[in-house]
A and B are shown apart, each in its own frame.
Chain A
Amino acid sequence: MTEVTDPGSGAAGVPVDARPVKLACRNVWKLFGANAANFIRERDGRASMADVAAAGLVGAVRAVDLEIRQGEIFIIMGLSGSGKSTLVRCMSRLVEPSHGKVEFEGKDLLKISDAALIELRRHRMGMVFQNFALLPHLNVLDNIAFPLSIQGQDRATREARAREVIDLVGLRGREHFYPRELSGGQQQRVGIARSLATKPEIWFLDEPFSALDPLIRREMQDELMRLQTMLHKTIVFITHDFDEAIRLADRIAIMKDGAVIQIGSPEELVVNPATDYVAEFTRDVDRAKVISARSLMRACDGAEHGGTVTPEAKIASFSAGIVSAGKPFAVVNDTGKPIGEVTPQAVIDLLAGIERAGAGA
């Protein structure tokens, strides 16, 4: 394996908020219907849902503003028909937005020429599809080498690179199989390997695991996390599965009816849902796995501590210990200085699902 980390994105240690913005949507609209572009331009990029409906248009993506930072896993979550697939296609310009800006490293993607777009897609973007989108007439090796082949790389170079990524996703020995001879999970590994072959900086995954069985899906999620710890790509991941979103995300954007209704870390969404709709999603989440010590801590009141945890530690990681110790745990920062404490009662309340005033941030 020659490629362990991506040299362009050595931002692993830097907190997400401090990293540069890789891709940004600025008031992006996608409307379907006659004269959709004119409609939104005349209104200066502002229209209510009622306006859109009154004009006989369908608002697939409405006024989306978001920033995706280098090296983060940004998940766009929504039910079917919420516009998440259209939004990711606007970001890659597979779908031409009706209005707004899509900025890739600060440059407006919608203004660049077709040739520049092709260049960008060839070298800097990769995409994985829900139904794999493998070419049925090519074997695994040729499928993975295909994006390199259309760039004009010679056979030896592109096959060497293809074999690297085949090793990376664990498909060695299957190079000469054709897609229909592989299981769904293996096919998606080919899809992933193919999108990584060009060493993209930004990686779009459009419901990559939705067509897979639940067990395989979990395995593939672990696989994705493993790859990400090595590669540190900027990932835009689409899903309709909130559990999947929580497992993988640095940040999640929740979409409804074409609009983004909340963006935040899994913990923020669970602790502070912006609307009832978001709260509805988060209701069945295993809160102990999402909420960290920082959210549950209170100021120290001088009691004896049974142990210490970091502010980022999830409750689930120390809940057994704190309950059996029966004493509060100190929450300590990098220098080892206590900044608060978590009581066993707060943990028990959380696990039991009891809301109490004062518990939580």
Chain B
Amino acid sequence: MTVTASASETRPPVQRWLAVWAIALAAVLLVFLLQDSIPWAVNYPAGAIIPVADWVGALMVWIKSNLSWLTRSITAVLGVPLDFALNLLAKNFRIGHGAEAFTLPRLSWVGVCAVAFLAGHAAGGRKLSLLVGGCFVYIALFGQWTSAMLTLALISIAVPFCIVTGLFAGIWAWRKPWAERLIVSPALDLMQTIPTFAYLIPMLLLFGNSPVSAMIATAIFATPPMVRATMLGLSRVPLEIGEFSDMAGCTARQKLWRVLLPSARPALMVGVNQVIMLALNMVIIASMIGAGGLGYDVLLALRALKVGEAMEAGLAIVALAIALDRLSQAIAHKQAKGHVHQAVSPSLWRRYPTLTLAIAILAATTLLGLFVPAFASVPKAITFTTAPLWKAAVNWVTVNFFDFIEAFRVALILNVLNPLRAFCEGFPWLGAVFLLGLAGYQLSGLRLAALVAVLTAFCAITGLWEKTMATVYLCGISAFIACLIGIPIGLMAARSDRFEKIVTPIIDTLQVLPSFCFIIPVVMLFRVGDVTAMIATIAFAVVPAIRYTNHGIRQVPPALIEAGKVSGCTPRQTFFRVQLPLALPEIMLGVNQTILMALAMVIICAMVGTRDLGQEVFIALSKADPGRGIVAGLAIAFIGIVADRLFGAWTAKARARLG
């Protein structure tokens, strides 16, 4: 600690670190060159692999066979609201059995679209009304209605569940600092870094291939932002408001529910928005374990390489995502701005006109649907499909640009990807443990060094070293290129308001799209393989690099820029000598986020045939092998945690230096 503390202040220690790193790198190189005589230091010996996967597998089997009463009752309890939502939105209610069964119709699509318009209008005026309503009409007209409503039904049950769980977990963590430090924070970190695929395996094992298991996986995945938003919101309530509630004589319960939580409402609404978006993302992925809906359509189409159908379903997901995001954001925004007084009126109808109108429309159109089939389901005559169009477009591109695209693809593989992959996969595991540990020590001290080294070693001793490094390679190059593209765009956006106005809606939209959607257009052009994975990952991960760079430069206090100008800096000097150094911690944070997002995406790209940890999870999923899947999932999470902690320590150090 003393070494690191002084390193930032005086010259000689910095040079000492340079020497230390030179020696360390030389040692690793030596290990690599001597790999014939000490092979165990390069490739982890197969005999010493600890069969963690088998243990986990056995544990899961034990849980399954001994706790089946629990899983069955959870399925039964959760199944009730879920079935109700599915029937209400997508499937129709079927009451009774056999011949005398009659069906209560689902909500009419006309009604749901009308409600979408109304909700948009209530939350954000005419523009939002057109956007949200338009998205729903689009879904209906392009023949994706039933699938989209299945997805929406799952979300509408999963989201309240996440919100309530997240709220209580957040309150608990806020009340008990020890719980926050020892349980909640580590759990949240792990929940958010374990790849989405890895959630599916134990769910599949415990709850079977059903919407319920998809919903539970979704709930686990989408809860963390609500927990964080609750903790953040509660801790940011002004101290005086808490004191006021004490002085008014509130009991602890009154203080929490009637003062603190309502005051934290804007922050909570941000959490709700994130929960909705994550739930949508996960519901799409969970189609692999029986969620059905739009994700399932994409999955089927991708497996059959029907790019047109995949694209159609993908665009419906995009429409749904944009509608849900803009709507919940508008509501959150309204909350943050605060209330406006209005005349009080006694009747419910007058007080909540939109809500009453929405219910009336839904009831009326659904009733009409009993008599007019066009209201019950979208008539075939007015839907149209774009699948042939997409297919033709892809055909045209492949026919006309095949040579060009193929040349690009092959050149990339031969000259960049393959050498890098070989380098990474051949990297001695002992060397990596040592170097990462050293970095941890330099940046923060012994504790970080130990954490980083242990997590890295885990990947080796479970026999996943080569696959881990394959993941690191793909993730690394994608994140690198994403930063290479994103940071300059962010810098430009920071220097020009006009450019920022163009960029902001694009990255906002990119950010809400479920990760699945990025694969579809790329796979159409580049087919399966590492190039596709890389390009999809770059597109997915570029957003934080742009956003944080832009924000970092823009948040430099104007007084400092003025001080620079007054001391005679040219605009160039102001930028490089004042703005950039001050924005660096924020930019580093963006790079950190880019790496984590790239990691999440690389795993999903297993669907297009990568050969890394994601593939390991994917295979485990199809074989329902929980041990293998969970261990590979943990290895992925550990890569993320190592990268996050090292970058976090670095950023913290840079921040501390800037004061």
A119/B249 in contact, CB under 8 A: yes
A89/B243 in contact, CB under 8 A: yes
A121/B259 in contact, CB under 8 A: no
Residue B342 interfacial (CB < 8 Å): yes
Residue A242 interfacial (CB < 8 Å): no
Interface residues of B in 225-271 (CB under 8 A from A): 238, 240-241, 243-244, 246-251, 254, 258-259, 262-263, 265
The proximity string for B residues 526-553 relative to A, scoring 1 for CB distances below 8 Å and 0 otherwise, is: 0000000000000000000000000000
B341/A150 in contact, CB under 8 A: no
A129/B342 in contact, CB under 8 A: no
Residue A356 interfacial (CB < 8 Å): no
A139/B341 in contact, CB under 8 A: yes
Residue B98 interfacial (CB < 8 Å): no
Interface residues of B in 290-342 (CB under 8 A from A): 337-342
B344/A178 in contact, CB under 8 A: no
B265/A121 in contact, CB under 8 A: no
Residue A151 interfacial (CB < 8 Å): yes
Residue A348 interfacial (CB < 8 Å): no
B262/A129 in contact, CB under 8 A: no
How many Å from the CB of A198 to the closest CB on chain B? 8
How far is B339's CA from A135's CA once the two chains are assembled, in angstroms? 11
A121/B247 in contact, CB under 8 A: yes
Count class of interface residues, chain A: 35 or more
How many Å from the CB of A257 to the closest CB on chain B? 23
How far is B240's CA from A123's CA once the two chains are assembled, in angstroms? 20
The proximity string for B residues 420-448 relative to A, scoring 1 for CB distances below 8 Å and 0 otherwise, is: 00000000000000000000000000000
How far is B248's CA from A123's CA once the two chains are assembled, in angstroms? 9
Contacts A176-B344, A181-B340 known; A121 to B238 CB distance under 8 Å? no
A118/B263 in contact, CB under 8 A: no
How many Å from the CB of B261 to the closest CB on chain A? 10
For B238, the chain A residues whose CB sits under 8 A away are 131, 133
For B339, the chain A residues whose CB sits under 8 A away are 136-137, 139, 178, 180
How many Å from the CB of B256 to the closest CB on chain A? 12
For A118, the chain B residues whose CB sits under 8 A away are 249-251
For B248, the chain A residues whose CB sits under 8 A away are 121-122, 146-147, 150, 198
Shortest Cβ distance from B261 into A: residue: A137
How far is B241's CA from A94's CA once the two chains are assembled, in angstroms? 12
For A132, the chain B residues whose CB sits under 8 A away are 240
A133/B342 in contact, CB under 8 A: no
For B262, the chain A residues whose CB sits under 8 A away are 135-138
Residue A177 interfacial (CB < 8 Å): yes
B250/A150 in contact, CB under 8 A: yes
B241/A133 in contact, CB under 8 A: yes
For A133, the chain B residues whose CB sits under 8 A away are 238, 240-241, 243-244
A135/B241 in contact, CB under 8 A: yes
The proximity string for A residues 174-204 relative to B, scoring 1 for CB distances below 8 Å and 0 otherwise, is: 0011111100000000000001001000001
Shortest Cβ distance from B249 into A: residue: A122
For A178, the chain B residues whose CB sits under 8 A away are 338-341
Interface residue from B246, B251, B259 paired with A135 (Cβ < 8 Å): B259
Interface residue from B247, B250, B265, B344 paired with A125 (Cβ < 8 Å): B247
How far is B343's CA from A150's CA once the two chains are assembled, in angstroms? 25
The proximity string for A residues 107-147 relative to B, scoring 1 for CB distances below 8 Å and 0 otherwise, is: 00000000000111111011101111101111100000011
How far is B241's CA from A146's CA once the two chains are assembled, in angstroms? 13
How far is B254's CA from A122's CA once the two chains are assembled, in angstroms? 13
How many Å from the CB of B593 to the closest CB on chain A? 31
How far is B257's CA from A137's CA once the two chains are assembled, in angstroms? 12
Count class of interface residues, chain B: 20 to 34
Contacts A136-B338, A178-B340, A181-B340 known; A127 to B243 CB distance under 8 Å? yes
Interface residues of A in 149-188 (CB under 8 A from B): 150-151, 176-181
Contacts A131-B238, A133-B238, A135-B262 known; A126 to B247 CB distance under 8 Å? yes
Residue A92 interfacial (CB < 8 Å): yes
How many Å from the CB of A123 to the closest CB on chain B? 8
For B344, the chain A residues whose CB sits under 8 A away are 176
How far is B238's CA from A130's CA once the two chains are assembled, in angstroms? 12
For B340, the chain A residues whose CB sits under 8 A away are 178, 181
Contacts A119-B249, A150-B250, A150-B254 known; A137 to B265 CB distance under 8 Å? yes
The proximity string for B residues 381-413 relative to A, scoring 1 for CB distances below 8 Å and 0 otherwise, is: 000000000000000000000000000000000
How far is B262's CA from A139's CA once the two chains are assembled, in angstroms? 13
B263/A147 in contact, CB under 8 A: no
How far is B239's CA from A130's CA once the two chains are assembled, in angstroms? 11
For A92, the chain B residues whose CB sits under 8 A away are 247
How many Å from the CB of A188 to the closest CB on chain B? 12
The proximity string for B residues 553-571 relative to A, scoring 1 for CB distances below 8 Å and 0 otherwise, is: 0000000000000000000
Shortest Cβ distance from B258 into A: residue: A150
How many Å from the CB of A150 to the closest CB on chain B? 5
How many Å from the CB of A174 to the closest CB on chain B? 8
How many Å from the CB of B239 to the closest CB on chain A? 9
How many Å from the CB of A104 to the closest CB on chain B? 14
A147/B341 in contact, CB under 8 A: no
Interface residues of B in 352-394 (CB under 8 A from A): none
Shortest Cβ distance from A123 into B: residue: B249
How many Å from the CB of B249 to the closest CB on chain A? 3
How far is B337's CA from A179's CA once the two chains are assembled, in angstroms? 11
Residue of B238, B241, B248, B250 most packed against chain A (CB within 10 A): B248
How far is B263's CA from A147's CA once the two chains are assembled, in angstroms? 16
Interface residue from A122, A131, A147, A179 paired with B240 (Cβ < 8 Å): A131
How many Å from the CB of A209 to the closest CB on chain B? 15
For B265, the chain A residues whose CB sits under 8 A away are 136-137
How far is B244's CA from A130's CA once the two chains are assembled, in angstroms? 11
For A198, the chain B residues whose CB sits under 8 A away are 248
B341/A127 in contact, CB under 8 A: no
A176/B342 in contact, CB under 8 A: yes
For B249, the chain A residues whose CB sits under 8 A away are 118-123, 147, 150-151
A129/B240 in contact, CB under 8 A: yes
How far is B338's CA from A143's CA once the two chains are assembled, in angstroms? 14
For A195, the chain B residues whose CB sits under 8 A away are 247
How far is B244's CA from A146's CA once the two chains are assembled, in angstroms? 11
For A147, the chain B residues whose CB sits under 8 A away are 248-249
B246/A121 in contact, CB under 8 A: yes
How far is B344's CA from A139's CA once the two chains are assembled, in angstroms? 12
For A119, the chain B residues whose CB sits under 8 A away are 249
For A131, the chain B residues whose CB sits under 8 A away are 238, 240
For A181, the chain B residues whose CB sits under 8 A away are 340-341
A137/B247 in contact, CB under 8 A: no
Contacts A126-B247, A127-B243 known; A135 to B254 CB distance under 8 Å? no
Contacts A127-B243, A150-B254 known; A135 to B338 CB distance under 8 Å? no
For A123, the chain B residues whose CB sits under 8 A away are 249
Interface residue from B240, B247, B258 paired with A130 (Cβ < 8 Å): B240
Sorted nearest first, the 7 A-B pairs with minimum C-beta distance are A122-B249, A133-B240, A147-B248, A121-B249, A133-B244, A176-B341, A178-B339
Residues of B with Cβ closer than 8 Å to A?
A: 238, 240-241, 243-244, 246-251, 254, 258-259, 262-263, 265, 337-344
Other A-B pairs beyond A123-B249, A133-B244, A137-B265, 12, CB < 8 Å: A118-B251, A121-B246, A126-B247, A127-B243, A136-B265, A137-B338, A137-B339, A146-B258, A176-B342, A178-B339, A180-B338, A204-B247
User: Can you show 30 pairs from A to B with CB atoms below 8 A apart?
Assistant: A92-B247, A120-B249, A121-B248, A126-B247, A129-B244, A130-B240, A131-B238, A132-B240, A133-B240, A135-B241, A135-B262, A136-B262, A137-B263, A137-B265, A137-B338, A137-B339, A138-B262, A139-B341, A150-B249, A150-B251, A150-B254, A150-B258, A151-B249, A176-B341, A176-B344, A178-B339, A178-B341, A179-B338, A180-B338, A180-B339
